[in-house]
């Protein structure tokens, strides 16, 4: 990792933006994912029209399947980390945890990796963990998650009190902020504080912890005092270093408190050099650190929603289109060695350091903003692409540990975190990503429900007195079934997503009767009727094989079946195991990881101009599994979903001839 004055050790991970996606009545939509009425907490409403609105996360329950399994594994990890170990660096910074030699008091064992006492980013994971705990609580109503969050918040309040520095709270001294302001070398102190702000406000909104909001408000008072003397030149110099989503965090705090000082803080973190070109339709991403950029645009989206700033809307929309159309791999991820590169050059960047997972976590946050503005199906398409193929596959089902990169290099393999000795940015964002799978399955307008994702789940729309139960084995089957339960007959449209990949058509049945589908892929099928308890909808989108070529070379392509990217199994030869990919002696250096790919691994398919269905055939008895036929390469290769291909080498992108 580079370590210099202004582009200092690129990290990622970002905060969990609350208050993110529009209004539910008078409440904030993405903030709407906490147990309780968001309107009770909102002081500043969204000021722009919204086409779609989020449901509270507490009103969506995932009933079974892959996503629930991932969330449960993540929840166990969150609960397993002791509060004393998580708080150790904070207490050391406040002088609270220094027993004398020979004292019977035993020091807790410090966490390792990026949370070590010698790491300038220490403390970032605790913010993510606060968010993850609150999201798990909202998703499950399991009191263990709330109580763990309460313990951390109480401990942080004690540290803030002992520090007694105008509300400052961190695991490192204020000198890190001073170095950032002066433009001297430091990792990313505002990035780390962003995670704390986000975690605390998530604890308030999702878990109703009043103390968490009080801590965040005191921290904001310190930030105002610290930053108000800066000149415009000092401000922009400071913002050259990675600051995560501090703009988003302060916009969200402003929406909660109505305090104009919090709005000023949000606007203070406007980075002209990064954002002005995007406002003018200029792709300035080449060589930029990807996850330094993406959170800024999440903040821009929040700016538009709260203030009506049209430039912010333009920047966020242009950025999303640019990244998705020109910088995104088949599985929904982006970047090589954490950086964007020249647009439309994917085939030149199929390396072992592609697709930092934090980037996708943040792209999905931005996507949810943009979907609520327009309810355009393309945003739901991307969300599904990235969720299934990248985020779902981030977690190793065997250990529950997660990936930093998802290598696109042929013959590479995933590398995983450790329970307490890694704490990379992608571990932190994974605490959240793997805990909030219910957030984007359903949306609504004032009339009806959008069904965006096909995940077994139950939605309770309290205001309408309607429950919607979705049953499916998707993507292992092409059909999803919706059952209505209603307190009384209810006239309501269902907006059923018709994915852009579903080019083989759609079959729709309502109470067993076939209904003609006139819409085309890339839109919504509207079923508008008076619903009563027991009504059923059955929706089928046949999946087909397709090539997903790189945007600069059609001879280099991934293979997908419906929405699912497939990867070829390439065995375990010469694998070094799944230890952390960085050198424990020098955690900043990780780009040089050697995958020692055997020369025998072949990633060429001799297709001879034939369509993919001629040379790739399904394997009987194995859902979503295919095998190349004879003559397509040196030997037959079995392909299965990339999200489920762990602890072995693989090929995602093939050379076709």
**Residue extents of the structural domains in the chain:** 23-440, 444-474+479-540
Domain spanning 444-474+479-540, CATH architecture: Sandwich (2.60)
pLDDT at position 187 is 95
Torsion sign over Cα 356, 428, 298, 228: negative
pLDDT of residue 631: 58
- My answer on whether omega of the bond before 619 falls inside 30° of 0, hence cis, is no
Q: Comparing 23-440 with 444-474+479-540, is the CATH topology the same?
A: no
Cα–Cα dist 405/418, whole Å? 15
The DSSP secondary structure of 57-72, one letter per residue, reads GGGEEE-SSHHHHHHH
pLDDT of residue 592: 57
Q: Is 617 helix (H, G, I), strand (E, B) or coil?
A: strand
pTM, two decimal places = 0.93
29 class by beta-carbon count within 10 Å (0-12 exposed, 13-18 middle, 19+ buried): buried
In sequence order, what are the residues at sequence separation of 6 or more whose Cβ sits closer than 8 angstroms to the Cβ of residue 249?
15, 17, 194, 197, 198, 201, 266, 299
Listing DSSP states for 111-164 in one string gives P-GGGSTT-TTTTHHHHHHHHHHHHHHHHH--HHHHHHHHHHHHHHHHHHHHH-
Do 364 and 305 meet the contact criterion of CB atoms below 8 Å apart? no
The answer to whether the CB of 648 falls within 8 A of the CB of 571 is: yes
Distant-in-sequence, close-in-space partners of 476: CB < 8 Å, separation ≥ 6: 623, 624
* pLDDT value, residue 109: 86
CA distance 83 to 111: 11
Q: Which of 298, 400, 277 is closest to 18 using CA atoms?
A: 298
CA dist 546 and 621 (Å) reads 21
pLDDT, tens digit (0-9, with 9 covering 90-100), for 404-452: 999 999 999 999 999 999 999 999 999 999 999 999 999 999 999 999 9
Start-to-end C-alpha separation, the chain: 37
User: In which residue ranges of the chain is pLDDT below 70?
Assistant: 1-41, 98-103, 105, 577-592, 630-634
Tokens of 597: 């790919």
Our measurement of the distance from residue 231's CA atom to the centroid of its chain's CA atoms, rounded to an integer in Å, reads 34
Tens digits of residue pLDDT in 178-233: 999 999 999 999 999 999 999 999 999 999 999 999 999 999 999 999 999 999 99
What tokens were used for 601? 């691994």
Could you tell me the fold of the domain covering 23-440? Glycosyltransferase (1.50.10)
């Amino acid at each position: 990792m580079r370590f210099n004055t202004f582009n200092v050790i690129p990290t990622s991970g970002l905060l969990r933006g609350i208050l993110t996606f529009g209004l539910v009545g008078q409440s904030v939509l993405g903030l709407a994912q906490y147990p309780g009425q968001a309107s009770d907490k909102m002081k500043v409403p969204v000021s722009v029209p919204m086409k779609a609105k989020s449901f509270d996360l507490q009103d969506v329950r995932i009933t079974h399947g892959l996503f629930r399994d991932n969330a449960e594994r993540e929840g166990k990890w969150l609960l397993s980390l002791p509060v004393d170990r998580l708080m150790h660096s904070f207490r050391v910074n406040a002088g609270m945890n220094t027993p004398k030699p020979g004292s019977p008091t035993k020091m807790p064992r410090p966490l390792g990796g990026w949370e070590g006492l010698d790491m300038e980013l220490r403390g970032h994971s605790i913010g993510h963990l606060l968010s993850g705990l609150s999201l798990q609580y909202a998703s499950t109503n399991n009191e263990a998650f709330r109580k763990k969050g309460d313990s951390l918040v109480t401990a942080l309040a004690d540290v803030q009190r002992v520090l007694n520095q105008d509300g400052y709270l961190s695991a490192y001294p204020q000198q890190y902020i001073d170095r950032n302001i002066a433009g001297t070398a430091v990792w990313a102190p505002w990035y780390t504080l962003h995670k704390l702000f986000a975690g605390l406000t998530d604890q308030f909104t999702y878990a109703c912890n009043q103390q968490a909001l009080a801590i965040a408000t005191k921290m904001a008072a310190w930030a105002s005092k610290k930053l108000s003397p800066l000149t415009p030149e000092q401000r922009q110099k400071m913002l050259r270093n990675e600051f995560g989503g501090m703009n988003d965090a302060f916009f969200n705090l402003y929406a909660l408190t109505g305090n104009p000082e919090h709005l000023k803080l949000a606007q203070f973190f406007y980075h002209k050099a990064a954002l002005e070109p995007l406002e003018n339709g200029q792709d300035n991403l080449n060589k930029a650190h990807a996850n330094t950029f993406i959170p800024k645009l999440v903040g821009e989206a929040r700016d538009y929603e709260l203030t009506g700033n049209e430039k912010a809307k333009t920047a966020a929309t242009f950025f999303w289109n640019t990244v998705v159309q020109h910088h995104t791999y088949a599985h929904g991820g982006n970047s090589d060695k954490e950086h964007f590169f020249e647009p439309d050059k994917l085939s030149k960047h199929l390396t072992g350091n592609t697709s930092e997972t934090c980037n996708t976590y943040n792209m999905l946050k931005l996507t949810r903003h943009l979907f609520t503005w327009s309810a355009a199906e393309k945003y739901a398409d991307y969300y599904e692409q990235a969720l299934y193929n990248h985020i779902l596959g981030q977690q190793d089902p065997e250990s529950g540990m997660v990936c930093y990169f998802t290598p696109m290099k042929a013959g590479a393999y995933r590398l995983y975190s450790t329970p307490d000795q890694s704490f990379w940015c992608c571990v932190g964002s994974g605490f959240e990503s793997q805990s909030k799978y219910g957030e984007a399955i359903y949306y609504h307008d004032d009339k009806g429900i959008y069904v965006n994702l096909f995940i077994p789940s139950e939605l309770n729309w309290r205001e309408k007195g309607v429950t919607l139960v979705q049953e499916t084995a998707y993507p292992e089957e092409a059909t999803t079934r919706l059952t209505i339960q209603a307190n009384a007959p209810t006239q309501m449209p269902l907006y059923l997503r018709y994915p852009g990949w579903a080019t083989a058509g759609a079959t729709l049945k309502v109470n067993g009767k076939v209904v003609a589908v006139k819409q085309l892929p890339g839109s919504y099928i509207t079923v508008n009727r008076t619903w009563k308890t027991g009504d059923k909808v059955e929706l089928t989108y046949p999946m087909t094989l397709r090539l997903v070529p790189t945007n600069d070379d059609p001879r280099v392509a991934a293979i997908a079946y419906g929405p699912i990217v497939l990867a070829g199994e390439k065995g375990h030869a010469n694998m070094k195991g799944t230890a952390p990919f960085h050198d424990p002696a020098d955690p900043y250096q990780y780009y040089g990881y050697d995958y020692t790919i055997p020369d025998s691994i072949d990633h060429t398919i001799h297709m001879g101009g034939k369509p993919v269905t001629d040379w790739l055939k399904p394997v009987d008895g194995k859902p979503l599994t295919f095998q190349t036929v004879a003559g397509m390469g040196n030997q037959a290769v079995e392909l299965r979903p990339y999200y489920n291909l762990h602890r072995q080498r693989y090929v995602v992108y093939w050379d076709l001839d």
